[in-house]
Amino acid sequence: MDALNDLIRISAAVGADPSLVLGNFGNTSVKTDDNKWMYIKTSGTALTEVSDEQGWRRVRVADVLNLLSDKQLPRMDEARRAVHLDAALLLACDDDQPADCKPSVETFFHALLDKVVVHLHPEAVLSAACSKDGPQLTATLFARGKYPPLWLPYKGLGYPCARTIRTLAARYESEHGRRPEVLIMQNHGLIVSAGSTEAALRLVKKTVAAFANCQKPITPLASQTPDPKTLNADRSAIRQAVFNAAGRYVAVHGWLDGQMRALLADPNAKAFCRGGAITPDEAVILHGGPLWLETLDPARLTRQLVKRKQAGAPLPVGFAVKGMGLFTAVSATQIPFVGDFARSYLRVRRDVLHGGLRCIPRVLAERYAETKAQPAPAGVLSGRLAVVTGAGSGLGRSIAVGLARAGANVGLADIDAAAIDQTAQFIAAERPDVATLPLPCNVTDEKAVDAAFQTLMDIWGGVDILVNAAGVAPAYSLVELPVDKWRFALEVNLTGYFLMARAAARIMIAQAIGGAIINISSKSGLEPSKNNTPYNATKAGEIHMARGWALELGPHNIRVNSVCPGNVFEGSKIWNPEYIKVCAKKYGIKLEEVIPYYISKTALNREIKGQDIADSVVFLASDQARRMTGQTLVVDAGQVFVR
């Protein structure tokens, strides 16, 4: 257990230090004193997540070493060998961990080295590891040490890398009388190996500090506020080009701070952005350096990306726009991680340039990008950017959850900020692979609506789906209806729907990749209900507005449809005790008879739930409804049969 405790300690210590890890990648291992067992971090676990219970495997060292000396394996076809080794590594594990937890892909080289092994990709080390003069730079930096770092030429990951280490470490041992304790992996990172966790940690810090001394500082430029119109147009252009080239809905985020702009204002920026990936991680996460753009012309960018796609190359994730900053095009949940990662890699690229960038072979880079690509969220609306109003309660909440279940990221608009938070928590618990964005606003307030959409643009860079559901139902008989209640309903149910649709349509038109707008009307929009003048009028108005918008927006492939729900009691604040009282009075029945009474009026004689409405919205938002616009879907369990 000492070895496991050591593993937890060293993993936490290096994982918590941002100067040592990049993107939380890296792996660690600790062997038992008899060198029989090795506790090693599992693949896909963050360093800071290794604990008593999880994040590690206990591996038989001899089994791994035997695999490395197996004479058949080097001759085996690469793909077959990978499958064989995967299985063999799992067989070398002996513990109670779940069978699908794989030990690190680098288990092979860990087995070859001293008791404690730490493998990281520090930004400072990469500046040398990805530089053509990396070996000389490393030799000069450590010229005074008795045991210089061992330089490892790039031979891929896992097994081939370990085979190289085996040969070179043996040579090193015969020259220096002991195994190397610091290894610089060309185009990859750093390995440190020592007899104790303390010694390993000391060595890691000392080595990284030596390389960090060679890094140029970044002097941030003064902050500037770019014109929001230009910025929005740039974001739309990138979304459009990525969609046209790859059919993917991405979130486009701009990194425009003084530090990022300083990196890109470097006189060599154009040159250091260019070129393929410099490490496997950069190939997987960023698909190489960012695309350098002097100006951002949507048609030209589309042509560039389509050409790249046709040549079989992965699309860039970063777009460096001269004088503006860096834009990233990724899944919405990945924005912060990819932004940090891209910033580090820009710095590495800038610092490497003096010796010349050394890229990994293009075929390997493309293979990494392909096989380890971040999967897009599953579902018919995968990656789409949606906004739902009234998302804090009832139908709006059910629809937001339904869109998230279908793989969309959802902007949650509601006047009630606390209620938005709750909806966000529901979604996070069920679909951590999609993002939510709180957009607290009063939909009747023009400025607030436009500000909410600007927030959306600033964070995600676009919108593909708008669902208008924030509605009110002041229930009075005609003769008792106060004019302010009438005006209030007009404001929320009509002005609110209009303002949201106008703001969304402006963005959708600029993006030029289509879109879907859905108005949640009501069966009362088709057939009036008693004591509901403002509701009847506004709900009918919503359907008719949608039809008009369908005509106007059709040429942009923006579809506008309505959903008319029947009575949905679940989670609705419209169905509050006061409203139920009005209904009981209307039909001369007891309070507890109201809900069964409404259900009994449906042909299906079944209660309608929020998910029933959400499913119809997902359908209308999806490509399955691609030739439907200006239409009205009635989801009322069979109650209203008019149009």
Ligand X SMILES: NC(=O)c1ccc[n+]([C@@H]2O[C@H](COP(=O)([O-])OP(=O)(O)OC[C@H]3O[C@@H](n4cnc5c(N)ncnc54)[C@H](O)[C@@H]3O)[C@@H](O)[C@H]2O)c1
- Cβ proximity of 234 and 211 under 8 Å: no
SS3 state of residue 633 = strand
Distance between CA 7 and CA 111 in Å, rounded? 14
Query: Does 42 interact with ligand X (rule: CB under 6 A)?
Result: no
When the beta carbons of 379 and 390 are compared against ligand X, the nearer one is: 390
Can you tell me which of 4, 231, 410, 443 binds ligand X, judged by CB under 6 A? 443
Can you tell me which of 237, 251, 301, 520 binds ligand X, judged by CB under 6 A? 520
Q: Which two tokens stand for residue 162?
A: 């370990």
Can you tell me which of 416, 421, 593, 607 binds ligand X, judged by CB under 6 A? 416
When the beta carbons of 316 and 534 are compared against ligand X, the nearer one is: 534
Can you tell me which of 107, 187, 236, 442 binds ligand X, judged by CB under 6 A? 442
Query: Does 390 interact with ligand X (rule: CB under 6 A)?
Result: yes
Q: Any idea which residue has 């710095």 for tokens?
A: 347
Residue 94's identity, in one-letter code, is D
Query: Does 415 interact with ligand X (rule: CB under 6 A)?
Result: yes
Binding part of the chain for ligand X, among 46-54, 200-208, 256-264, 414-422 by CB under 6 A, reads 414-422
When the beta carbons of 168 and 574 are compared against ligand X, the nearer one is: 574
Q: Which residues contact 66 (CB under 8 A, 6 or more apart)?
A: none
- Cβ proximity of 390 and 473 under 8 Å: no
Candidate list 535, 579, 587, 597, residue with the active-site label: 535
When the beta carbons of 68 and 574 are compared against ligand X, the nearer one is: 574
When the beta carbons of 276 and 565 are compared against ligand X, the nearer one is: 565
Q: Looking at the chain, how many residues does it have?
A: 643
Can you tell me which of 334, 522, 562, 631 binds ligand X, judged by CB under 6 A? 522
DSSP states of 426-485: HHHHH-TTS-EEEEE--TT-HHHHHHHHHHHHHHT---SEEEE-------B-GGG--HHH
Applying the rule CB under 6 A, the residues between 246 and 275 that interact with ligand X are none
Smallest Cα–Cα separation from 92: which of 76, 77, 70? 70
For residues 171 to 210, the per-residue mask of contacts with ligand X, x marking binding by CB under 6 A and - elsewhere, is ----------------------------------------
Which region, left, alpha or beta, applies to residue 528 given φ > 0 means left and ψ of -120 to 50 means alpha?
beta
| DSSP, res 496 | H
CA distances to 221, 616, 627, 629 from 550, in Å: 46, 18, 12, 6
How many residues bind ligand X, per CB under 6 A?
29
Binding part of the chain for ligand X, among 86-94, 286-294, 350-358, 470-478 by CB under 6 A, reads 470-478
The answer to whether residue 535 is catalytic is yes
Applying the rule CB under 6 A, the residues between 543 and 602 that interact with ligand X are 565, 567-568, 572-574
Can you tell me which of 419, 475, 618, 635 binds ligand X, judged by CB under 6 A? 419
Distance between CA 539 and CA 533 in Å, rounded? 10
Query: Does 395 interact with ligand X (rule: CB under 6 A)?
Result: yes
When the beta carbons of 382 and 423 are compared against ligand X, the nearer one is: 423
CB 609 to ligand X: min, Å: 11
Binding part of the chain for ligand X, among 150-158, 338-346, 389-397, 544-552 by CB under 6 A, reads 389-397
Residue 80's identity, in one-letter code, is R
Distance between CA 158 and CA 104 in Å, rounded? 9
Distance between CA 169 and CA 345 in Å, rounded? 29
Show which residues are catalytic. Answer: 535
Give the residues lining the site for ligand X (CB under 6 A): 389-390, 392-396, 414-416, 419, 442-444, 469-473, 492, 496, 520, 522, 565, 567-568, 572-574
